[in-house]
Structure formats: C-alpha cells, structure tokens
C-alpha cells in the first residue's frame, strides 16, 4: 500500500513499478476479435489433423512410458503417509510465513523473501516480480509449491534408480510448464505488454504460433532465432578451405593454413552427426577451426551427410568405416602423412573411442593421439538422457523410425531442449507467443535449430548398445568390423575435455574413460556446459577450467585436488598437443597432394536442412 504524503496525494512506494496503462477499449475489442479468429483456426486445424491422422491411433498415448513410473511412485507414496503429512505441514508453515511477509509489505515494512529464484533463473528477471507485491506473492508461492512437489517425489522410498530418475525428470517438466511466467494473467511483463498494445502482442503471438505449426506440419516447431539472418558459408561457417574427399556419409574439408609453417602431423576433427560441424566455426571471433589453424595445425574436418531413407541401414560400423577411417586414407593421400592427431566431439568422440579400439586390434597406428570434447564411452552415469532409453521407449522410437527409415530431426531437438526446458522451450513460448516478439538473431541458436536426421540402424545401435547396455565399456562387449572392441588396448596419449555444467555428457561420465584407456590420459574440466564449455575462445576471457596432474581413480578425488585457471582451456590443450604434433614443415595448400578439391568449404552436405 502506497504511503500518503503531507498533501494527501497518493505516491508510489519505494521501489514500486509504474502502474499499468489502461487499454483503448475500441482497439482492444478489435484485437480480441482477431485473437478469437486465430484461436478458432488453431482449433479447426487441430481437429482436421486429428481426423486425417486417425486421432489417438496416429501415435502411442504414452511415448515416454511415464505413466507406469508415476503409478509406481504413487503406490510407494501411499505406503509412507507420515512423510506426506510432514511435507504438507512444512509447506503450510512456509505459506504462513509468506502470507505474514506479504501483509507486512502491504503496510510499508521491508521483509526478506521466504524463497528466491535460484541463480541463473531468468523467468523472474522483470522488476515487477520483486517490486509489485501481488506478483512477488505469486512468484514466491509458485517457488514454494514447486520445491515442495519436487522434494516430495524425490524422497519417496522404494523406487528403483531408473524409475526415480524418470519421476524426478517429468515432475520438473510439469513444474516448469506451470510457472506463472508462462501465462498472460500471471506474468507482469506480458500483462503490461497486453495493456499497452491493446492486445496486439497476443495477436502477433498467435500468428507466430500458427506459422510454427505450419512449419512443423502439425507439431510446434518453435523458432528460436531469425533464421533468415544466417547463411552457411556467408556469415557463419566461413573459414576458407576445400572439400577434398567425399562419400555417401561424409565430406572431408581441408582448411587453408594461416601460418607459413605447420606441424607435420595433420589434425582430424570428427564432430557429432546429431548436429552439424559448424558449431566449431560459427564466427571468426569464436571459431575453434580458425584458432587451430592459427596455432599451426593442418585442420581436416568431417562434415556428415544429413541422411534420408536410402541410408536407413547404414549402421554404427558404417559410420566408422566411411567416417574416420575413410578420412585417414584421404588425409594420407592429400598430405603424404601416415600419422595424424585426432579429435572427437560428443557422439563423434564415442565413435572415435570405438575406432581407436578397432585400430588397436588391427595394429593400425595412424592416430598417434586423440582428444575428446565432451564425449562418453562409458554410459553407466550418462545423465538425464538415459531417462529416454528404457526398452518401452526404444521400441516406440524404433517403430516410429521404421516408417521412414530415420528419426526426424525435430524429435532429437525436442529431447535435448527438454533437458533445459526453461531456457530452450518456455522462454521462447513467452517471447514469441505471449509477448509477440520476433526471436533475436543468434548464431548459436540457428545452429541448434539446424538439426539432422538419424538413420534407424545407426541410431538404434547407439541407443541400445551404448546407452542401454553400455557395451563399449565392456571388453569385447561390442563388435565392429569383426573385431571385439576393447578400449583397454588403446595406448596412445588421450586428452579428455569435460564441462562442469554439461547436461548431455556429464563430467562424471566423461571421467570414467580415464579408467578404460591404457595409455597416458589427461582429464580437464571446463566451466559452462556442453557447447559453451567447448567453444570458448581464449580472447573472450570467459569461464575457467580446472586441471589436476595427479593420478586418481575417482572423479571426487580429481575434483578435490583440482586447480582452477581463469579463461579458456584451449591453451592448455595446445600446450599438450603441440608436443605430439611433430616438427614444423612448410604450410600445405588444399589440393597440392593426390586429391583434387571438389568444392569450397563448408561444402554442400552441411547445407542440407531437415524440414
């Protein structure tokens, strides 16, 4: 309640935000008609699609097999009534504290919040969430309830680890979805925009929603960025080079040298095929590829094809033979060098680990060291992605892929986005649909949206043999090219990069490889996550990294003895690799060997977009 000054005129309390402007009734009415028209179109289109696709028969009613997990959780919870009563009493006491604090604020007293958003939670950044007493109450009541729900389900005894993780994950999805920031009447920023624009923001938002539904052919394909702002090869992925080899799965790019002398051993980068390689060459200011050439490396990068139905039966083994092994042959033809250093990123690193074991079995010594960016070979602690790989879900995925021969790109995007739903789903729902704003041009989000398809044979091998059965970590558990895969036979120097906040390849999971390879292994941990933890140019002076040169057997020991260093880990890696790259030789030019360049970098494979 605002205090009264001496002249009797109401004034705003300290820190209170300005009152919302009253809308123009005529303009608001016109926009409400437009909203009704667009809403009617949404419903009509949905009903038509249901009729065309057969309604519920078009797909499984519980594709993530969530129902069974929550039924088991409920059953166990009912056997522990005392815990439920205790949790309810605790929530009631916290609400009493919140009501008391709100009442004190209303009479002009300052109070400390009962609960605050965790650091990094951007949903409540708008000043009204703190300064307006009503919205502060809504915010805190939501946070209290969300914490209560999540704590309650986490403390249910009797659940197996897999079920407990699934319940926790999908409870968080529900809690995030129900945040007051996701609704017009309980989001002060949206409410202000609605009043000030007479509802024009909601009209534009519905237009955006209709466009996204059309683009996603009935599924909501949320635009995360202005996709017209970027053109591959023009303002992203612009490092100069040539495609010097290709087959049905890869194009191999050799990049121009940026130094007069280069290290004798070339550097091969095998990126993930779930996304495209140009995450390592977004802009010249943060391009790992450009920076590596500036350090004197002759850089080769695999650019994976965006597969369609005719590659459906290409499996993990084919990706090894037609990927890194074919690239090794091409690099030797292009440079005359038999020995190279290699990098594998994410699933590209998983493939490289298997390839190294295959090469060791065949006594193939062409790779003399290997670096792994955020890559797993032991999937026993694979993080939240393991929630999606129980047998029921794998059968659903396999049946879905069988119709086309591949997994639709959008399905992988949705899965990864769910791991960070507030940042990668709900923030765009608010911005695009409630505020009616166009998404901001952002190269990283353009790359994130430029997803690829997954051939059924390869993808099911990866999900079943790696994630579900963890066969790569078992000596002889997997067989590729007729050779039992045993990572213990890999004796070359290994550099393992992990990231502290990686939600896709958790550092605990990456560390497990230190106990599998038999050669010298250097493990480091970078700040940030799966992408920013990798792509962190030294000139940015962002984040930090940790090193520990002691030989330890657990990640807890490693963390306890680690030393923190400011800035990028790239310099540590260069110091390590430069000692393994051989003497300096004259710089190479793409095409000066036995291979004739096919086209300019970044090539044509990377430009094929999945619809």
Q: Calculate what percentage of the chain has a pLDDT beyond 90.
A: 73
Task: Enumerate long-range contacts of 309-314, CB under 8 Å, 24 or more apart.
Answer: 309/404, 309/405, 309/406, 310/405, 311/248, 311/249, 311/405, 311/406, 311/455, 312/404, 312/405, 312/406, 312/455, 312/456, 312/457, 313/405, 313/455, 313/456, 313/457, 314/248, 314/249, 314/455, 314/457, 314/458
**pLDDT above 50 for 588:** yes
CB 575 within 8 A of CB 545: no
Lowest model confidence (mean pLDDT) among 6-10, 121-125, 288-292, 380-384: 6-10
**Over residues 275-290, mean pLDDT:** 96
**Residue-wise pLDDT tens digits, 300-346:** 999 999 999 999 999 999 999 999 999 999 999 999 999 999 999 99
For residues 142 and 154, give the distance between their C-alpha atoms in angstroms, rounded to a whole number: 18
Question: What pLDDT is stored for residue 3 in this prediction?
Answer: 36
CB 487 within 8 A of CB 377: yes
Q: Which of 238, 72, 95, 91 is nearest to 156 (CA)?
A: 72
Question: What pLDDT is stored for residue 35 in this prediction?
Answer: 77
**Over residues 14-22, mean pLDDT:** 61
Instruction: Please provide the DSSP assignment of 567-599 as one string.
Output: S-SHHHHHHHHHTTS-SEEEPP-TTSSS----E
Domain boundaries, the chain: 62-197, 241-408+453-607
Q: Calculate what percentage of the chain has a pLDDT beyond 70.
A: 94
Cis peptide before 270 (omega within 30 of 0): no
Strand partners, 267: 299, 341
For residues 291 and 281, give the distance between their C-alpha atoms in angstroms, rounded to a whole number: 10
- Token reading at 316: 């993990």
Give the pTM.
0.89
For residues 536 and 542, give the distance between their C-alpha atoms in angstroms, rounded to a whole number: 7
Residue with tokens 């086309």: 404
CB 370 within 8 A of CB 495: yes
Question: What pLDDT is stored for residue 602 in this prediction?
Answer: 98
Question: What pLDDT is stored for residue 64 in this prediction?
Answer: 72
Q: Is 370 a catalytic residue?
A: no
For residues 372 and 378, give the distance between their C-alpha atoms in angstroms, rounded to a whole number: 13
Catalytic one among 279, 346, 412, 451?
A: 346
Q: Which residues contact 528 (CB under 8 A, 6 or more apart)?
A: 499, 500, 501, 536, 542, 543
Q: Tell me the helices (H) and strands (E) count for the chain, helix number first.
A: 21, 17
CA angle centred on 101, ends 95 and 105, rounded to 5°: 145
Question: What pLDDT is stored for residue 61 in this prediction?
Answer: 62
**pLDDT above 70 for 18:** no
Strand partners, 242: 254, 600
Measured over the CA atoms of residue 79, residue 80, residue 85 and residue 87, the dihedral's sign is: negative
**Residue-wise pLDDT tens digits, 148-186:** 999 999 999 999 888 899 999 999 999 999 999 999 999
Q: Which residues contact 26 (CB under 8 A, 6 or more apart)?
A: none
SS (H, E, C) 372-416: EECCCCCCCCCHHHHHHCCHHHHHHHHHHHHCCCEECHHHHHHHH
**pLDDT above 70 for 51:** no
- Helices 81-106 and 66-78 meet at what angle, rounded to 10? 90
Question: What pLDDT is stored for residue 574 in this prediction?
Answer: 98
For residues 297 and 255, give the distance between their C-alpha atoms in angstroms, rounded to a whole number: 10
Q: Which CATH number fits domain 241-408+453-607: 3.40.50.1820, 3.40.190.10, 1.10.3720.10, 3.90.1710.10?
A: 3.40.50.1820
**Over residues 22-41, mean pLDDT:** 77
Question: What pLDDT is stored for residue 32 in this prediction?
Answer: 73
- Whole-number Cα distances in Å, 219 to 209, 408, 449: 10, 12, 15
Q: Which of 577, 533, 539, 524 is nearest to 297 (CA)?
A: 577
Measured over the CA atoms of residue 89, residue 90, residue 91 and residue 94, the dihedral's sign is: positive
**pLDDT above 60 for 5:** no
**Residue-wise pLDDT tens digits, 423-469:** 999 999 999 999 999 999 999 999 999 989 999 999 999 999 999 99
Question: What pLDDT is stored for residue 45 in this prediction?
Answer: 74
For residues 156 and 531, give the distance between their C-alpha atoms in angstroms, rounded to a whole number: 34
Binned at pLDDT 50, 70 and 90, residue 2 comes out as: very low
Q: What single DSSP character describes residue 155? A: T
CB 302 within 8 A of CB 277: yes
């Amino acid at each position: 309640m605002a205090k009264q000054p001496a002249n009797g005129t109401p004034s705003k309390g300290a820190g209170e935000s300005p009152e919302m402007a009253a809308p123009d009734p005529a303009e608001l009415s016109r926009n409400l008609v437009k909203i009704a028209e667009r809403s009617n179109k949404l419903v009509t289109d949905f009903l038509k699609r249901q009729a065309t696709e057969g309604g519920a028969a078009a797909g499984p009613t519980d594709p993530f097999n969530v129902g069974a997990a929550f039924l088991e959780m409920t059953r166990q919870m009912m056997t522990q009534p005392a815990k439920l009563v205790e949790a309810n009493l605790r929530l009631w006491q916290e609400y009493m504290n919140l009501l008391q604090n709100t009442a004190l604020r209303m009479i002009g007293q300052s109070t400390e919040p009962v609960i605050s958003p965790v650091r990094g939670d951007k949903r409540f950044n708008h000043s009204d969430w703190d300064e307006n007493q009503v919205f502060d109450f809504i915010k805190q009541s939501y946070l209290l309830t969300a914490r209560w729900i999540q704590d309650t389900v986490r403390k249910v005894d009797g659940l197996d680890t897999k079920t407990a993780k699934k319940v926790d994950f999908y409870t968080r999805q529900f809690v995030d979805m129900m945040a007051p920031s996701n609704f017009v009447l309980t989001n002060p920023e949206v409410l202000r925009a609605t009043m000030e624009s007479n509802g024009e923001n909601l009209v534009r938002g519905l237009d955006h929603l209709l466009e996204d539904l059309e683009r996603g052919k009935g599924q909501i394909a949320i635009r995360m960025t202005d996709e017209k702002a970027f053109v591959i090869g023009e303002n992203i992925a612009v490092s100069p080079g040539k495609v010097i080899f290709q087959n049905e799965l890869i194009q191999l790019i050799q990049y121009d040298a940026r130094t007069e002398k280069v290290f004798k051993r070339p550097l091969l980068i095998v990126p993930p095929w779930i996304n495209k390689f140009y995450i390592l060459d977004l802009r010249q200011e943060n391009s790992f590829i450009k920076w590596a050439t500036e350090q004197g490396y002759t850089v080769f990068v695999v650019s994976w094809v965006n597969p369609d139905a005719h590659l459906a039966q290409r499996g993990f083994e084919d990706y090894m033979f037609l990927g890194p092994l074919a690239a090794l042959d091409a690099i030797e033809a292009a440079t005359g060098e038999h020995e190279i250093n290699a990098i594998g990123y994410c699933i590209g690193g998983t493939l490289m680990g298997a390839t190294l074991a295959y090469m060791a079995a065949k006594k193939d010594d062409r790779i003399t060291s290997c670096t792994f960016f955020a890559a797993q070979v032991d999937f026993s602690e694979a993080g939240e992605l393991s929630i999606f790989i129980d047998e029921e879900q794998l059968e659903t995925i396999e049946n879905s892929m069988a119709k086309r021969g591949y997994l639709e790109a959008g399905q992988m995007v949705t899965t990864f986005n769910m791991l960070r739903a507030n940042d990668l789903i709900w923030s765009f729902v608010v911005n695009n649909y409630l505020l009616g704003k166009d998404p901001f041009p952002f190269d990283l989000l353009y790359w994130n949206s430029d997803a690829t398809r997954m051939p059924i044979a390869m993808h099911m091998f990866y999900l079943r043999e790696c994630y579900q059965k963890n066969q790569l970590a078992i000596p002889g558990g997997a067989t590729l090219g007729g050779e039992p895969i045993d990572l213990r036979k890999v004796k070359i120097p290994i550099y393992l990069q992990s990231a502290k906040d990686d939600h896709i390849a958790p550092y605990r999971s990456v560390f497990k490889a230190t106990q599998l390879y038999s050669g010298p292994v250097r493990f480091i941990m970078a700040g940030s996550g799966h992408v920013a933890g990798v792509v962190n140019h030294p000139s940015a002076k962002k984040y930090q990294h940790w090193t520990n040169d002691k030989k330890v057997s657990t990640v807890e020991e490693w963390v306890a003895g680690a030393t923190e260093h400011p800035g990028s880990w790239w310099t540590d890696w260069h110091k390590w690799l430069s000692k393994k790259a051989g003497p300096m030789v004259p710089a190479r030019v793409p095409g000066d060997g036995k291979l004739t360049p096919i086209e300019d970098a970044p090539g044509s494979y990377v430009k094929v977009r999945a619809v």
